[in-house]
């Protein structure tokens, strides 16, 4: 394991028994197309996505017995989406550890939301395989606790699409419109949503589903309109 990965391991708060798991977690598919004999982090990402979703759901369920199912779902989605996960990955300096193909690296891949969020999920998958569910729970809890607390403070704002629709109806007598694009293979698509009101782009969001991307875009649009119409 190189020094960058050792430091990443320290920031995670987990010392890997099988260091090859962390090494595999930072290998992007663009890198393996230029280097034979390696596997990308996509399988670890698949596992980490499931582990992350379970742990966050468990945490919010146990901490917030007063919240109904719908609010719990909104809370989980607000912290388990590409944009939020990329921020956590950025805080960990995951980008500096990624192995990217030359083209992806030149295109700023180490700062891309989808690549960072996928890598974080792969790292969580690696922790789970290396040390099991209890340690993975501790690591994810430490990583996501601040995000969960922030989301709880803004629980009434989590359904951003509904809030935006109400705001635009009140302010402009108009409804928001979402323009969706996607990229990536069918089994691993990334969606980007741009929300438009009266021919003006108010926010852009990215996510693993159309709905998730729309929610992020709507939240940004709500913040924009809040600042303009205080």
Strands (E) located in the chain? 177-183, 190-197, 200-207
So which residues are the catalytic ones?
Answer: 49, 121
Helices (H) and strands (E) in the chain, counts: 11, 3
pTM: 0.73
Provide the β-strand partners of residue 200: 197
Q: Does domain 3-154 have CATH number 2.60.40.10?
A: no
37 Cβ contact list (under 8 Å, min separation 6): none
- Closest of 11, 52, 43, 6 to residue 24, by C-alpha: 43
pLDDT, tens digit, 9 for 90 and up, residues 61-102: 998 888 888 888 888 888 888 878 988 999 999 999 999 999
- Closest of 183, 39, 197, 200 to residue 122, by C-alpha: 39
pLDDT, tens digit, 9 for 90 and up, residues 162-207: 788 888 888 888 889 999 999 888 877 889 999 999 999 999 999 8
The CATH 3.30.160.20 portion of the chain extends over: 160-228
The CATH 1.10.1520.10 portion of the chain extends over: 3-154
Quote the CA–CA distance of 224 and 195 in Å, as a whole number: 12
Quote the CA–CA distance of 206 and 111 in Å, as a whole number: 14
Architecture of domain 160-228: 2-Layer Sandwich (3.30)
pLDDT, tens digit, 9 for 90 and up, residues 10-21: 999 999 999 999
Q: 3-class DSSP state for residue 204?
A: strand
Residue with tokens 């951003």: 160
Q: pLDDT value at position 158? A: 64
Q: How far is CA 61 from CA 65, 70, 148, 152, in A?
A: 6, 12, 11, 12
């Amino acid at each position: 394991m190189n020094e960058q990965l050792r430091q990443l391991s320290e920031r995670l708060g987990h010392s890997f028994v099988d260091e090859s798991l962390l090494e595999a977690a930072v290998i992007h598919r663009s890198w393996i197309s230029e280097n034979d004999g390696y596997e990308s982090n996509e399988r670890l990402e698949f596992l980490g996505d499931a582990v992350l979703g379970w742990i966050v759901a468990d945490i919010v369920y146990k901490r917030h017995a007063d919240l109904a199912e719908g609010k719990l779902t909104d809370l989980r989605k607000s912290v388990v989406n590409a944009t939020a996960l990329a921020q956590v990955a950025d805080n960990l300096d995951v980008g500096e550890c990624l192995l990217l193909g030359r083209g992806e690296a030149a295109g700023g891949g180490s700062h891309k939301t989808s690549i960072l969020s996928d890598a974080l999920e792969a790292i969580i998958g690696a922790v789970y395989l290396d040390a099991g569910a209890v340690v993975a729970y501790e690591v994810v809890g430490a990583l996501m606790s601040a995000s969960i607390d922030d989301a709880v403070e803004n629980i009434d704002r989590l359904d951003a699409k509904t809030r935006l629709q109400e705001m635009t109806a009140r302010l402009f007598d108009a409804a928001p419109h979402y323009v969706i694009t996607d990229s990536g293979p069918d089994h691993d698509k990334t969606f980007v949503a741009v929300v438009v009101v009266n021919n003006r782009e108010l926010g852009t969001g990215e996510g693993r589903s159309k709905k998730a991307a729309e929610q992020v875009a709507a939240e940004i649009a709500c913040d924009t309109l809040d600042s303009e119409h205080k």
